[in-house]
Structure 1
């Protein structure tokens, strides 16, 4: 029996988990020995089904239910084009191996070489603002073009924008899942996952094949995202969010942590501001990250704002918004426009991707901010 087989068998025992696995390895130094010698103190803490599985293994070894499952799991991986990477393998990423109780086994679809590239994790809110999505995509595009692999969680919102930005920049990106690599979640991002793999990136999980995206899987997923990365960029996050947890894990793992500031009126900026108070670096451009992490900064090819020139009414709104959200009443006072006309202009600007509605009113998107910068 090899180490991978023994490790998969141990992890198959319900409630054993990575924490007890590493405790066993400290004691026995080898997963094969740990499986054969599972101490009574550990067995007594396992559910009855797991105890029966281990007893069956001790009696029948290769013909046991436990080892038959391992054989079937290896076959499932082969059928899905997934690779199993044991923590003792050369393909196992070195940075991830350094964290406390790393995943004993990784499931990977794609190119394992991406695990050894310098990685920046880009994380944030699922319900991000348009400006947040624009920032995630732009930062990821420039960082990927500069030689960093972009790591994120394939979720809706900032995660998907980060993966897309990396692909737009001609770089590679890694999606870490809270489900099995053959059960992509959310389903709407399945095509994006396949594009990530086709583009030289990979989809990664520590969970067995067919694993469902259960809520308890995502904190485990988050420690992998931060553990793989040299630095973590938080784009937008509420004060209580999984993305903020990922960034805090990165601080605990001695990774570099960056946060994009926002308006004090934007609830999605509060997580970033809280993280900056805890010591995260405030960044305004991807060049700020490159300067601290190394790499090559490749600036945008054009500084001209996209789209047709603004009308006088649109220019007045862009100037009034500046860098902060404004309510409809405030915009009416700032622009002296009649309310009906103002609302019609704002609707056209929303459709053009220049402004977006937030809780406190309206704010500029990245495209709108480009017009403001050009005018200034």
Structure 2
């Protein structure tokens, strides 16, 4: 894998060219030792690309760099590997590889991005918290960029209800930006979420990385929620990318005389879904959940008899353990065992102590 790590970081080669070359060869190790004459057989490579590859082979300390990656406990996931998110493979310009601390979002579960203004209003802050808590409390994974303002507020809201949240950074995953979000950074990891980037570890946050990372935020999400945005805003870039990727976009309406609501109101005028309440949004996302359930069965992931008995007794509203025991007529130990199994499968969640609800 160390040669794959090298190839992922060859500059100035684009990700698209890296993918095209990698498809035409057995391994990155072969690329590392390939003769210059054979490199020229790839029609996508220009002189500057070939020069960059040859220079990288001379300068890149392959074993040393890969060992640094391992010591940092960062997972390296190239696009062709089994762990790479299928949702990202659907977009037109997927990153060649991802670097992950913690976990990636579970693709069997619904997910939504919550994005918006860095300098948000009390109204935007309250609504971001409200939507994040309601969605995450019902098993929707919250994805954002861990930025100041709406992004960080939404992710904190998800953590408040023991939900899962994932941050896509415009820097290396070992670099906490902004620095004051170090507590949020650590809490995301401690609560089973993940820190994600397409940039190699140690990469500093530079302005042009942030618009680029937005396609990953939208790509990993089933829907994008814009909570507050000015007329010209990075959040609108995410919304545009989401539409290009076939994702649903929702916007929070606001006062017509508020600069922070102009971008959202404009999105609504252009046809974005309007955020009126978390409950209505959850109804929309429930359709995604049903589709996910159907896909599980299409893939022949079947529930055992006892699992099916317990699962069929549950609903999207929490149900107490005692009631489940009465309805299934199973011993308490068996019900608890089945509940753990269903939770590990991503089908249910424990909303509060001994109270369970369906996720999909």
Q: TM-score range by the shorter chain?
A: 0.7 to 0.9
Residues 273-352 of structure 1 mapped to structure 2, 5 A cutoff: 273-294=265-286
Residues 6-17 of structure 1 mapped to structure 2, 5 A cutoff: 6-17=3-14
**5+ residue gaps, structure 2:** 290-314, 319-360
Q: Distance in 2 between matches of 1:46 and 1:215?
A: 25
Q: Distance in 1 between matches of 2:272 and 2:163?
A: 26
Q: How far is the alpha carbon of 1:12 from its aligned partner?
A: 2.3
Q: Residue 178 in 1 paired to residue 170 in 2?
A: yes
Q: Residue 73 in 1 paired to residue 65 in 2?
A: yes
Q: Distance in 2 between matches of 1:47 and 1:128?
A: 46
Q: Residue 98 in 1 paired to residue 90 in 2?
A: yes
- Aligned-partner SS, 1:134: helix
Aligned to 1:223: 215
Q: Distance in 2 between matches of 1:208 and 1:46?
A: 19
Aligned to 2:16, which of 16, 19, 22? 19
Aligned to 1:338: none
Q: Deviations over 1:58-82 (max 9, x none)?
A: xxxxxx543x23x333322222221
Question: For the aligned residues, what is the CA RMSD?
Answer: 2.4
Q: How far is the alpha carbon of 1:137 from its aligned partner?
A: 1.0
Cα 1:98–1:288 shift into 2, 3 Å:
same
Q: Distance in 2 between matches of 1:292 and 1:112?
A: 23
Aligned to 1:45, which of 40, 43, 48? 48
Aligned to 1:333: none
Q: Which has the larger radius of gyration?
A: 1
2:132–2:142 Cα contact (<8 Å) kept: yes
2:110–2:285 Cα contact (<8 Å) kept: no
Q: Distance in 2 between matches of 1:248 and 1:119?
A: 18
Q: Distance in 2 between matches of 1:190 and 1:229?
A: 24
Aligned to 1:205: 197
Q: How far is the alpha carbon of 1:203 from its aligned partner?
A: 0.5
Cα 1:273–1:31 shift into 2, 3 Å:
farther
Aligned to 2:326: none
Aligned to 1:245: 237
Q: How far is the alpha carbon of 1:93 from its aligned partner?
A: 1.2
Q: Distance in 1 between matches of 2:317 and 2:28?
A: 46
Aligned to 1:268: 260
Aligned to 2:133: 141
Q: TM-score, normalised by structure 2?
A: 0.73
Q: Deviations over 1:149-207 (max 9, x none)?
A: 10000000000101101001220100000000111111011111100100110111110
Q: Deviations over 1:30-69 (max 9, x none)?
A: 6556663433762512495x25425xx4xxxxxx543x23
Aligned length: 285
Aligned to 2:115: 123
2:8–2:97 Cα contact (<8 Å) kept: no
**5+ residue gaps, structure 1:** 58-63, 300-376
Cα 1:51–1:196 shift into 2, 3 Å:
closer
Q: Distance in 2 between matches of 1:46 and 1:230?
A: 35
Q: How far is the alpha carbon of 1:123 from its aligned partner?
A: 0.3
Cα 1:78–1:34 shift into 2, 3 Å:
closer
- Aligned-partner SS, 1:117: coil
Residues 57-68 of structure 1 mapped to structure 2, 5 A cutoff: 57=57, 64-66=58-60, 68=61
Q: Distance in 1 between matches of 2:105 and 2:213?
A: 20
Q: How far is the alpha carbon of 1:241 from its aligned partner?
A: 1.1
Q: How far is the alpha carbon of 1:17 from its aligned partner?
A: 2.5
Q: Distance in 2 between matches of 1:201 and 1:293?
A: 20
